[in-house]
Amino acid sequence: MFEIGKEYHRQSEIHGVYKGQAQGGISTPSGLDAIFIVTGDGGEKHGYADDFGDDGIFNYTGEGQEGDMEMVRGNKAILNKMKDGRTIHIFEYVRKAYVRYNGSLKILIP
What pTM, to 2 d.p., does this model score?
Answer: 0.76
The pLDDT tens digits for 31-90 are 888 889 888 776 566 556 677 778 877 777 666 666 666 666 677 777 767 566 678 899
Closest CA to 39 of 59, 20, 55, 19: 59
Task: From the options 2.30.280.10, 3.90.1010.10, 3.40.50.620, 3.40.50.720, give the CATH code of 7-105.
Answer: 2.30.280.10
Distance separating alpha carbons of residues 110 and 103, to the nearest angstrom: 22
